[in-house]
Amino acid sequence: MSNDVLFEIKDLEVSYGAIAAIKGISLKVHKGEIVAILGANGAGKTTTMRTISQLLKAKAGSIRFKEHELTNLPAHKIVKLGISHSPEGRRVFGILTVEENLTLGAFSQSKLDRKTLAWVYDLFPRLQERRKQLAGTLSGGEQQMLAIGRALMSNPEMVLLDEPSLGIAPILVKAIFKQIKEIAKSGVTVLLVEQNAKAALKLADRGYVLDVGKIALSGTSAELLASEKVQEAYLGKKN
């Protein structure tokens, strides 16, 4: 198993000024896996994702992707290596059209790959219907589809998804999670952050539970779903 490790974080520490947000976490992602990072609000999930993308700088530790050490790279170089990031809160370019957003997703590529665009439209047909519409006029769920689609446009090997279910109608959450499964099936490795632990673990192969900047628990999805700790903390006792 160890020689197909695609991505590995070791002893990562991240601070905001004097306040430590990530206090030494380690995790691994194998090629082709869906790995979930779970945890309550404020646990440090988004901080971890932003540090992977180098929007935040690590205080200590290493982040390796294939043969590359990421911690000393500028943020704009990460996507070129094959990691793209659909950020928390979606962060679509609201005053640009859907298609302009998707085109920007391919900025790191030498040219726009029509096949990838067709695939994204296939995954999320609503985006195609609304491709001339300004992204800011889409519903929250549609914006989330756009954020994921935009992240796929660079043909990444691994995609970081930060809370794709946040503030979205349940029916759309279901649709989006189904398409995340499709994305993984197509060979893209997925690192997924969620507060919605049950939905995430149904989708993921493995998971890590983050608790105030430390990994409290890790295991396969089945193990985590069965664990009492997870049931108490995230699933509500009887669920």
Partner 1 sequence: MDIFLQQLANGLTIGSMFALVALGYTMVYGVMRLINFAHGDMVAASAFVGLTIYTHVTGQATSLAAVVAIFLLSAVVMAVLGVVLERVAYRPLREAPRLSAVVSALGASLVIQNGIMLIWGPRMRIFPELVPQVYWDFGGVVISLIQVIILVLSLVLMIALYLFVEKTRIGAAIRASSIDQDAARLMGINVNSIIALIFIIGSSLGAVGGLFIGLYYRGITFNMGWQYGLYAFVAAIIGGIGNIPGAMLGGMLLGLFNAFIAGYVSSTWADAFTFILLIVILIIRPTGILGERVAEKV
Residues that bind partner 1 in the complex, under the rule CB under 8 A: 53, 55, 74-80, 84-85, 87, 91-96, 100, 103-105, 107-108, 134, 136-140, 143, 150-151, 154, 167
Name the site residues for Mg ion (rule: CB under 5 A): 45-46, 88
In the complex with ligand ADP, which residue's Cβ is closer, 47 or 84? 47
Residue 136, helix vs strand vs coil: helix
CA atoms within 13 A on the CB side of 33: 22
| Residue whose CB is less far from Mg ion, 142 or 163 | 163
Residue (of 172, 154, 34, 49) closest to 104 by Cα position: 154
- Contact status: 42 vs ligand ADP (CB under 6 A): yes
For residue 95, what are its two tokens? 């005053």
Contact in structure between 33 and 188 (CB atoms under 8 Å): no
Instruction: Let me know if 17 is exposed, middle or buried by CB neighbors in 10 A (0-12, 13-18, 19+).
Output: exposed
**Residues β-bridged to residue 109:** none
Using the rule CB under 6 A, is 196 a contact of ligand ADP? no
Nearer to ligand ADP (CB atom), residue 41 or residue 239:
41
Binds 44, which of Mg ion, partner 1, ligand ADP, none (CB < 5 to 8 A, cut-off by type)?
A: ligand ADP
Q: Which two tokens stand for residue 61?
A: 């530790």
Minimal distance, residue 21 CB to ligand ADP, in Å: 4
Pairing of strands 158-162, 189-194: parallel
Closest separation in Å from C-beta 55 to Mg ion: 13
- Give least dist CB 51 to ligand ADP, A: 9
**Residues within the interface to ligand ADP (CB under 6 A):** 16, 19, 21, 39, 41-47
